[in-house]
Structure 1
Amino acid sequence: MDKSLSNKRIAIVGAGAIGCYYGAFFTKAGFDTELIARGAHLKAMQETGKLVFKSRIHGDSVIPVKASGGLTGEYDVIIFAVKSQDTEAVCADAAKHLRKDGYAVSFQNGVENPAILEKHFGKNRVLAASLYIGVWIESPGVLNHTAFGNITFGAFSEESKTVEPYFAEILSKSSLEFNAAKSMKYILWKKLIWNIAYNPLSALLESTCGKMAKDPEVFALMVKMVKETLEAARMEGVEVPEEEWMPLIAHKDSLDDYKTSMLIDIQKNRQPEIDGILLPVISRLEAAGKGAPYCETVYRSLRFKYGRIFVYTPRVAADVIVRNGGSVLLVERKYEPKGWAIPGGFVEYGEKTEDAAVRELMEETGIKAESVTLLGIYSDPARDKRGHVASAVYYTESDAEPVAGDDAKTAKFFPMNALPADLAFDHAKILADYIKVKPV
């Protein structure tokens, strides 16, 4: 195998957020790197020839990149970052594009992808990697890196150990943090433990990781799913002790707002890796006549809820501005996000937004509105830190005395020129818009 690094040609198949992150480092190191992508992200990179790289760790930069919709010619290294359900198909095509002395690397979730690569490329030239990274596509052609990026890699079978030093050199020259594993099977099953605990349930419950880990009942379910995973791992000769897996899934403050890849995929109407994460556990225990009731229940629930067409839309809320002369009614919220807010809440299924606004006003303040007028729709995805909520905002007038109820701690009128500083959500903007329409 050619030991020279200067002329290595690298392809990253499935160059979404993860593939583009590492591809950027390879490119900056001088490797001839090709990002195999698709959709609007591919189009943006092809039109500009660049990837906008944002990172609170490495700083912001603009990196010239080579992006393509498919493999062309031959490569020394082909890195796979596709979803598990696509591995077989892309490997079949990629087999004719890997040089005879080249090797393939799996940058994927799950424990079964490296074996699929071995089937197509041979046991003597397949490496596997486990990645710990927070990164996402902010918009087409724009990458946002928020955390980590270190790589644990190694041979999936003994036959490919001779390949390890060559990839280590590439990572080293690219200034990437990495370490070589003695057993990638152990590393991949350990990573699957975290994925089993968080990924499927976050998608089913539409929740961030920290919120689930803090809930005793949900955490107990996570532990039961992990124990089924540990049993399946033992069938592969992998034993992960409790002192290693329990801290791995325990609550950490950094997880409070962390969304799993499966939840992000569903929110973006993409096919998540349900099969790749859950089926390795379910199939192994079923084959042994033991079953995996907790993993299987979550798996079947996800399949029923989402099927093969994933429709995930923002939640809809309705708020109502109540004016009394030169004052406006605000409620002090009992729950997060706290602060003073315009009365309102979520629209119930089968309910008109204007009816929801009237109902929420009554529940939170005891004020009955005879009629409301639409101010506008506020739908910035960042307006509510709990998730994407679009709100229909109405206005009315009333001189009734408010009485706090429901999830309102306090309800009172404030002069519109002396509003509290801690207004929740985007309600400062909403009230400013209202004053333009209905000046004091």
Structure 2
Amino acid sequence: MKVAVMGAGAVGCYYGGMLARAGHEVVLIARQQHVEAIERDGLRLDTQHFDERVRVAASTDAIAVKGAQLVLFCVKSTDTDSAAKALAPYLEQDALLMSLQNGVENAERLRGLLPQEAAAAVVYVATGMAGPGHVKHNGRGELVIEPSTKSEEVARAFVEAGVPTEISNNVRGALWAKLVLNCAYNALSAITQLPYGKLVQGEGVTRSMRDVVDECLAVAKADNVTLPGDVDAAVRGIAETMQNQYSSTAQDLARGKRSEIDHLNGLIVRRGEALGIATPANRLLHALVKAIESKAS
């Protein structure tokens, strides 16, 4: 299968690298510094189970998506519209775009922007870019994907590449369940610049997280979302399975970049307002992260 990864940062490099390692033809569309390193030395996949350099194509240009049957769409939620516009002239008619993004609205946005089929995926992985062309895997890695015309083929490819993958009819619920986890951890990790394991040891942190989660669950219920599994156990488990992981929001703020907070706690605030649900804990976290962003800019 020919695969293109649009927005090959930590998440895109990990999943694209795993597919390339398994023998698929993969091109990573990434920033210049990563492309130069990957072309020179290969992609360094530094995982919990192996540390290898994988030979994979890389480009800074959206034209590299030509011919791809599967496009892993991994840009920040803030860049969904502009990235879709950049890809539009080069996408194959029968290409499947799979959104491996934070937030709950991206696949739907893609369907409104492009004629190609778009499907949502829920990503559970702790990764970061340790340097140009060097992705560091800190834990987990499974995917939950939405049914599509290629879902069976895609799931099989990922499983054979060592990525646990499940096809689910309730991806909306799974996306919301992940949104709850992100709302609980991302902003607090960003504000404190602490990894999850140390974050939860702080005085009053777990009680504050409880307030955030309760608001998220109230909004989800009012929005008729069915969340799978035990959300409370999942929230607790993040700090145990990803102790050394900093949130993507923390990584963005540390680099002086705009974060996805509008699509995380900010979404809960907006949906809460629309549904008549008070969300003061999420509103405060959203406001604090936005203030830090403004200070950096």
**Structure 1 residue 61, shift from structure 2 partner:** 1.4
- Which of 14, 18, 21 is residue 25 of structure 1 equivalent to? 18
- Distance between the aligned counterparts of 2:242 and 2:19, measured in 1? 29
**Structure 1 residue 154, shift from structure 2 partner:** 1.3
**Structure 1 residue 111, shift from structure 2 partner:** 0.6
**Structure 1 residue 285, shift from structure 2 partner:** 1.1
- Distance between the aligned counterparts of 1:185 and 1:65, measured in 2? 32
The 1:240–1:27 alpha-carbon spacing in structure 2 relative to 1, beyond 3 Å, is closer
- Which of 140, 153, 157 is residue 145 of structure 2 equivalent to? 153
The 1:188–1:290 alpha-carbon spacing in structure 2 relative to 1, beyond 3 Å, is same
Q: Which has the larger Rg?
A: 1
How does 1:45-194 map onto structure 2 within 5 Å? 45-46=38-39, 48=40, 50-57=42-49, 59-72=50-63, 73-122=66-115, 125-155=117-147, 161-194=148-181
Identity %: 27
Residue in 2 that maps onto 1:275? 262
**Structure 1 residue 187, shift from structure 2 partner:** 0.5
Contact in 2 for aligned 1:112/1:280 (Cα 8 Å): no
The answer as to 2:202 corresponding to 1:211 is no
Query: SS where residue 126 of structure 1 aligns?
Result: strand
The 1:67–1:19 alpha-carbon spacing in structure 2 relative to 1, beyond 3 Å, is same
Query: SS where residue 249 of structure 1 aligns?
Result: helix
Backbone CA RMSD of aligned residues: 2.1
Contact in 2 for aligned 1:125/1:163 (Cα 8 Å): no
The answer as to 2:290 corresponding to 1:303 is yes
How does 1:234-249 map onto structure 2 within 5 Å? 234-240=221-227, 244-249=230-235
The 1:290–1:144 alpha-carbon spacing in structure 2 relative to 1, beyond 3 Å, is closer
The answer as to 2:23 corresponding to 1:9 is no
The structure with the greater share of residues assigned to strand is 1
TM-score by length of 2: 0.91
TM-score by length of 1: 0.63
- Which of 240, 261, 285 is residue 272 of structure 2 equivalent to? 285
The 1:256–1:150 alpha-carbon spacing in structure 2 relative to 1, beyond 3 Å, is closer
The 1:210–1:172 alpha-carbon spacing in structure 2 relative to 1, beyond 3 Å, is closer
Contact in 1 for aligned 2:18/2:161 (Cα 8 Å): yes
In structure 1, the gaps of 5 or more residues are: 1-7, 156-160, 311-440
- Distance between the aligned counterparts of 2:8 and 2:125, measured in 1? 15
Contact in 2 for aligned 1:271/1:308 (Cα 8 Å): no
**Structure 1 residue 293, shift from structure 2 partner:** 1.5
